[in-house]
Structure formats: C-alpha cells, structure tokens
Chain A
C-alpha cells in the first residue's frame, strides 16, 4: 500500500466514524442514504422486524443476521422502476395502518401471536388491502433473495461453485 492510499483510507475511515454517531442518534432517518424512496428510521426498524419474521434466526442465520431489511431497501431504491417504488412506499404506509388497526401499535410492538396472525392473513389474502399485499410480496421476495443469494446459503445449503471444473451430462440422482 502506498502512502497516498493509506491517507485515502484514513480519510475514508474517519469520515465513516464521524457519520455513524449522527445516524444512530437520529432515529427519524434511514441508516444509509436512499436516493429515490423515503424510509424513516422507524420504518427501517419495522422492516428489520418484518424480514426477521419472514425468515427468522433458528440454528441457522436469519434475516437480521444477513441485514435483509437493508437489502430490501437498497434493491427497491436502486433497482425498481418508479411505479414499483411507489407501490412499495404506498404499501408500507398501508401496512403500518393495518398493524395500527390490528395490534393497536406498530408491527414491532405486535405480539408474536399477532404478527403470525397478520402475516397468515396477508398470505391468504384474508380481507387485506391490495396495497398491503403488494408491499408484503415485494418485501418477502427480496428477503428470500437476500437469503438464497447470501454467503451462508451458497456455502452451507446450496453450495455455489465458482470453479466446478467438471461437467457430467448423465449421472444417477443422489438419494440422500
């Protein structure tokens, strides 16, 4: 590493350090800069809870271990068309309204039983507004993507080989 890159790295690190406390204290904002959608700190927390409810930690990593909620926000912000971003944001507001109605509180403060009941109803489209379904489907799809494309999943569950080095066109199915 030459002198210039050491200085550059130092500056980068110190800039990061000075940013972190600001973010942590300001609960009204998302923890990273979003370019296209508005998600506030409470909503980010709600998303963390929702994604963890969709893919919980068991004896293997869950959504929060993989920061799936940040992945959801980043993908919607970076890779979604405007109208789909709108669907997500509008649906998130509708979802918040619904949790208020159902548990008289935010999703985070719902009891585990209430959370389970709510998501079961959404999955079954049991008298659920379309906006909520749209938001839930986006969040669930991206949470699954975050999980199945994670290092954990691709090294421990379905092992992804960067260099297979082999191709066999016709082999017996392994019965394990």
Chain B
C-alpha cells in the first residue's frame, strides 16, 4: 500500500476512539462508509491488552498502591480514585502530557484505543426534558436545540447494543430505557428507598442503571461478550466483556465490517479547511512516535477527542475562513465549559437489619435522581444534584491491638457482623459561564507541536450553595431514616476530578451564540460534527456518557442521510 492521497482518503474520519468515537466508527462502518478511526495513544485490544485483569491482590508488588515517585511527579492523576497499581497504565501521567492550569483543574485523561471507556464508572442515566429545558427555563447558557423526544429513540438504540441494566421506575425526571434486569439492592438500600418514597414527595431512591450485562441478549453474545461476573475490577478491562467499553463492543463490531482502519499513535493537530470548497477536507496527523505529519482526507469528520481535547483541536484548526478556531464565528468556542460538582459526601451507620448481610459483589449501587428545582424553582440556587447511595456491612473481627499470637488470632477471626454503613456522594450540575474558558497557551507547545491547553475554570457561588443544600437535605433524610453517626465531608477537590468535563463547542439554535446545531453539526461547516462532551449546552446531573453515545449514533445517521443527498 503506497502512501498516496488515495490511500489516505476515506469516507469518514473519526477523531478519538473512546466512548463516543467508538460509536461513530461503528455507525459509519455499518452504513458502509470507509472509516478512519484516529487514536492518539497505543492500541488496546480487548482481552489481549488487559495485563492486570486476572491478577490476585497479592500479585501486585505494592498491593495496589502507586509508588511515591510516581505520585510526586504526577499529582493530578494521582488524585483520581481509579489511579491505582492495577489500572494506572490506562491513565495519562501529568508529566507526559502537560497542560496549563490558570486555575486548579484536575484533568484526568486516558490516551489509548478505548480511551476512558475502559475505566469509566459505567453509570448510565437518561436525561429528560427537565434537563434539556433547564437553560431556557432558568435563563443560563442557551436553549438546547433538542428535546427528549429527539434523543429518546437513540437512547433506546444505544442501550440495546451496549447493554444497560436497570429497573423501570416510571419517573418523569429520569426516563426508563431498554433495560436488562436490575441487580438487587441491599436490605438497607431497599429500606431507604421505601422510606424516601413514603416521606418525600417527588424524591426517589432507585437502582442505579449501569452498563453491565446482567442477562446478555443475542446481540451481546454476537459481540463476543458475556454475563457480568460481579468482579468489580472493571477498571482493569473485563475478561468477560461484562461491561460496555469501546474495545469489547463498538470497535470490534466496526472492524468486522471490513470498513474500519484503526490508526493508533495518531495525534490530530488540526482540521484542514479548504476555502475554495468551503468545507473541511481532512485532518493533519502527527505520528505520536516519529513526529511525522501526514494528512488524511474524508467527506465527513467527527471530532470525538474527549471534551477538552476536542476544544483544543478546534481552537488549533485555524484558517483564512476561521482565524479564531474552527467554526468559531461566534467567539464562544472554548467558553461556557462546565463539569459536575462532586465535592460533597456523607456517611452514616444503621443499626437495623442485624440478621442480614450481602453476598458477592455489586458493580453498581442505588441512586437518587435530582429532586431539587425539578418541576419548579424552589431554592436560592439554580438546578440541583443527584446522589449515589450505597451500603455494606463490616465485621468486628480483624482487631489490630497488641502483637504476637493475640494479634494473629484477631486478624484470623472474622468476628461478628458490625453495623451497616451507608454513604452518598453528590453529583451537582454546574452552570456553564463565559468566564470558564479553554484557550491555547500563547507560548508553550507539546512535543507534537500542538499548543498546550490552558484551563481556567472555577466553582462559583451557586456551587457552594448547592453543596450546602446537599449536606442539609441528605443529613435530614439520613436522620429521619434513623441513620446515626452521620458525617458530612467536603473533599474540596478541584473541578475536573469528576471526570465529567463538558462544553466549549456547545449546541444551540443560533449560530451567533453556539458552535453546533441540533445535529451536532458545526453551524458554519456542515461536514464537521462534534458528538463528545464538548457539545454539551448544559451539564445536568446524570453521568454523561450514555447521552454522548446516543447523540453520536443520531448524528451519524443524520450525516449519512445528508451525504446520500449530497448535502455534505
């Protein structure tokens, strides 16, 4: 195969192979498009490249802990809960890919085929119109150009393929989906669920929907995936394909069509705009290893590089037509970025259910959908938060007093069951603001010649008020439910550690105030689409990946229909 323009020309180029890019590749390949899937990191082949997946705890040299020299050199990624000895090879080290923190921001990244879909928390809650209508109702950001009815069939479409476990709860603010059976909640979780339903109007505790194959369907077996075995070691990659990631699901599916060209070690420098043709014609790629630049061409380009890297590529794609960044006539590119506020947590004990316990492990937990300001504005802050709810029971054995045979006996005694512990964490909506920005650093470039991304994002007064409300409301619910020894905590973590960065190339109806239209299509360049977190007009409270997947499949369908009509 020669290296001429012809071999470097495809029908579609997808930038990024993670959560949303994997979907774009699958959709295009299935629809018969010759597709180039670009990934800046190394290849990770399902099953083959999960080096720690079958290791026992004692097989890890440091029993899971990350050595101090790595922590010291990489303070940002070291703050991520999943950056442990068993999965640290899937995370970007600070030192390898620097960025500029105008204000503290913990940017957690995964540069490999599959991206962060390998290590994600697998929570998949749908949005409702109470989310999509938020900005218009409450007067922030811009109105979403879509509503629930536009995305609902696409939620169903991706849920069936990915495999989502859930319970039909019938809640207007958290619509039901195409669910595989739910797993059980614990006795205490069920108790709290009943308690909240009885004592609070419009507050609910449900089984948290998650991307696990609790009962694989023929489509999942066809993908080569099997039932979730409740290992809860998902961040290592799953030997059963029990949870959804791009590596086990969308990418191999795309490969089977024969239409996919997967190109790891491909750092996208910028999108090439052709003034004469009035559209994008391809992308400039710097080889991650040789640093050699190559151009690739296609009729349609999907940018799925992960929210802030997508912004980086767009900002760096300048031309006569777009001197301020790709599609950026409005000047809003890189602005109105947002995230989720994960600072609050609460824990307590429960004295009941002494005769019962749990057996085995569960990959998910219970979930409280947002109950604040859902149907109307009711607090002195905008929007609200969702919360997790999980529980477990310890044992009195394993005492650590003393030494010698006494200590050893204690350690070898399981003891009696101790009290139940319960806990929740906050998932707060943040308001996208013009002052929260991503820009290109004027001086510093990385080793591939791409300017460093400068991140300037901070909490605001709304976030602080919401955090206070989370503590108050959760403490009240916990107290009324009879939980004791209630402890609240503010992790004070910087924005970013939620790993839910969003926005910067937001969707909107008006090209003067947004970058993308209702099809995730750049308003001013119809053959470029952005369907990862960068497209988000607002953040709501749900874990966002499911929405990215649905938006991606929907945008691919639209793009192909437009290609057939020769519109793009």
Contacts and interface: CB of A to CB of B under 8 A. Distances in A.
B230 A170 contact: no
Interface in B386-403: 398, 400-403
Interface in A16-69: 53-56, 58, 60, 62
Nearest to A168: B359
A165 B68 contact: no
A113 interface: no
Contacts of A79: 62, 65-68
Interface in B89-147: none
Interface string B392-419: 0000001011111101100110100100
A174 to B, nearest CB: 8
Nearest to A174: B357
B47 to A, nearest CB: 15
B56 interface: yes
Interface residues of B, number: 47
A153 B413 CA distance: 11
A123 B403 contact: yes
B360 interface: yes
- Report whether over half of chain A's contact residues are helix, strand or loop; otherwise say mixed: mixed
B355 A78 contact: no
A115 B54 CA distance: 41
Interface stretch (A7-15, A126-134, A144-152): A144-152
Interface in A145-176: 145, 147-151, 153-154, 157-158, 160, 162-173
Nearest to B413: A157
Contact of B359 (A116, A148, A171): A171
B272 interface: no
A163 B405 CA distance: 32
B231 A173 contact: no
Nearest to B397: A158
A164 B360 contact: yes
A3 interface: no
Given A167-B230, A168-B184, A169-B185, A145 B56 contact: no
Nearest to B239: A163
A101 interface: no
Contacts of A150: 58
B400 A167 contact: no
A58 B405 contact: yes
Interface string B435-472: 00000000000000000000000000000000000000
B231 A170 contact: no
B360 A173 contact: no
B183 A173 contact: no
A80 B68 contact: yes
A75 B85 CA distance: 13
Interface in A131-145: 140, 144-145
Given A54-B407, A157-B412, A169 B58 contact: no
A60 B231 contact: no
Contacts of A116: 404
A144 to B, nearest CB: 6
Interface string B48-77: 000000101110011101111100100000
20 contacts: A55-B403, A55-B404, A55-B407, A78-B67, A140-B400, A144-B400, A150-B58, A154-B58, A162-B54, A162-B56, A163-B231, A167-B184, A167-B360, A167-B362, A168-B358, A169-B186, A169-B189, A169-B190, A169-B358, A173-B354
Interface of A: 53-56, 58, 60, 62, 74-75, 78-81, 116, 119, 123, 140, 144-145, 147-151, 153-154, 157-158, 160, 162-173
Interface of B: 54, 56-58, 61-63, 65-69, 72, 183-187, 189-190, 229-231, 233, 353-362, 398, 400-405, 407-408, 411-412, 414, 417
